[in-house]
Amino acid sequence: MRSVRKRWTICTISILLIFYKTKEIARTEEHQEAQPSGDGDSSLSRSMVNNSDKINQKSGSSVFQHSVERWKINSSLVLEIRKNILRFLDAERDISVVKSSFKPGDVIHYVLDRRRTLNISQDLHSLLPEVSPMKNRRFKMCAVVGNSGILLDSGCGKEIDSHEFVIRCNLAPVVEFAADVGTKSDFITMNPSVVQRAFGGFRNESDREKFVHRLSMLNDSVLWIPAFMVKGGEKHVEWVNALILKNKLKVRTAYPSLRLIHAVRGSLPSLCILLSS
């Protein structure tokens, strides 16, 4: 259980860091020359106030409607945090290894289990992107949507879909809850364990069809699979890759770079301080 939590922590921080670089970039670049003023520099918690205790949903209104107006971006602090993150993170490069990184048959060590190795299969190599899926891509407004159920009955679907780039976690179902979570999906994470937990380990044709149907709804979205973290999920990754190729699904696969995971793993204490400061 502890190792699973550790893996989820690393994956979550990786995603947040990658897209922190792109979020609101146009707005912050306009303030690069601005000087700190008054209380705006005091702390992130004071300059970006959510006042969640005052969010009382009203009929027909979004659960976020009242809180958004109370947020104030401290551009100077945002730029400082971004500068610190960029010391070890390159969002464009680290979001995925590319075809030129490996060739079929190459042997690599798992990041969190260095004694174990993984052979790069032909299927895996064929699904590696030619270039980073985030190459030259920047967005003014992104949405990160979890799958805890907190959005049920929120009516936030349209608001979420209005964002330029929508990130979702672990292939959470959306069609059934479109009014609350929206349907737009640009980047979707998929831990290999999802195959076992949500799709029965592909034990029968029904499970496989359910999975293929879920992926077919993603169209040209990026499916982000942390395949190189720890031994145990490689068979699930191979099953997923085989189904994508067999069914000629349009989803674009991406696999986080080894450098990214090493960087995040080695910086967890400082990142926790950075993200909570």
User: Among residues of the chain, what percentage have pLDDT more than 70?
Assistant: 68
Quick check: helix, strand or coil at residue 276?
helix
Kindly tell me if the per-residue pLDDT of 167 is higher than 80: yes
pLDDT of 259 higher than 50: yes
Is 32 a residue whose pLDDT tops 50?
A: no
DSSP H or E segment with residue 144? strand 142-145
Residues 6+ apart with CB under 8 A from 55: 63, 64, 66, 67
- pLDDT top residue among 135 and 87: 135
* pLDDT reading at 35 higher than 80: no
Instruction: Flag the least confident range among 41-55, 117-131, 238-252.
Output: 41-55
> Per residue in 223-244, pLDDT tens?
999 888 777 788 899 999 999 9
* Alpha carbon distance 261, 258 (integer Å): 5
Residue range 45-71, pLDDT digits in tens: 333 333 333 333 433 444 445 455 677
Determine how many CB atoms are found less than 10 A away from the CB of residue 21. Answer: 16
Query: DSSP letter at 126?
Result: H
What pTM did the predictor assign?
A: 0.68
More confident residue, 241 or 138: 241
Residue 164 pLDDT more than 60?
Answer: yes
Ranges 52-66, 111-125, 156-170: which has the least confidence: 52-66
Beta pairing, strands 252-254 & 165-168 = unpaired
Residue 183 has pLDDT above 90, yes or no: yes
Give the range with max mean pLDDT: 16-20, 52-56, 78-82, 212-216.
212-216
* Of 36, 18, 1, the residue nearest 226 (C-alpha): 18
Q: How confident is the model over 24-29, as a mean pLDDT?
A: 44
Please give the domain boundaries of the chain with CATH numbers for all domains: 98-276 (3.90.1480.20)
Helix/strand/coil for 193: coil
The residues pairing with 224 across neighbouring beta strands, listed in sequence order, are: 189, 254
Euclidean distance between CA atoms 14 and 41, whole angstroms? 26
Positive or negative torsion for Cα 94, 251, 143, 6: negative
Most confidently modeled of 56-70, 75-89, 106-120, 245-259? 245-259
Instruction: Say which residues have a Cβ less than 8 Å from residue 51's Cβ, sequence separation at least 6.
Output: 66, 67, 70
**152-161, 196-205, 256-265 — which is least confidently predicted?**
256-265
What's the distance, CA 219 to chain centroid? 17
